[in-house]
Amino acid sequence: MRTYVLAWFPMVLIAIANGLFREKFLASRLGELHAHQTSSATMILLLGVYVWAVFKMWPPTSANQTIWIGLLWLLLTVLFEFFFGHYIVGHPWEKLLHDYNIFQGRVWILVLVWIAVAPYVIYQFQK
């Protein structure tokens, strides 16, 4: 599992690059909400490609292992998001939780769901 912990770190770089693209290019063209939604969709796509590549290099040994990988990546992502966002960047908790409000069109939760299930889904496709 150590390999998959290490494989999580480039996901942070992918997320940062995706966020910069959203802020520098999408937000001014689409508006903040649509930029958020588009960025969430591109993040799902980018993570899918990344997980596919990771599993080609380091194939999981079982479907059960992929479930644990997904849960591990989800935990690391949420911890990083809140720790970095609040304690390093200084965002208030309300701002961090704002992207979780699906009733206001915020779809970030779908990215987190994908992080959790992508390892299993991609493993099944690669079998």
pLDDT in tens, 30-64: 999 999 999 999 999 999 999 999 999 999 999 99
3-state helix, strand, coil in the chain (%, to 5): 85, 0, 15
Q: What is the largest CA-CA distance in the chain?
A: 45
Predicted model pTM: 0.92
pLDDT in tens, 101-112: 999 999 999 999
Chain centroid to Cα 14, Å, comes to 8
Alpha carbon distance 109, 94 (integer Å): 15
Question: Each residue of 59-80: pLDDT tens digit?
Answer: 999 999 999 999 999 999 999 9
- Class of residue 115 by CB neighbours under 10 A (exposed 0-12, middle 13-18, buried 19+): buried
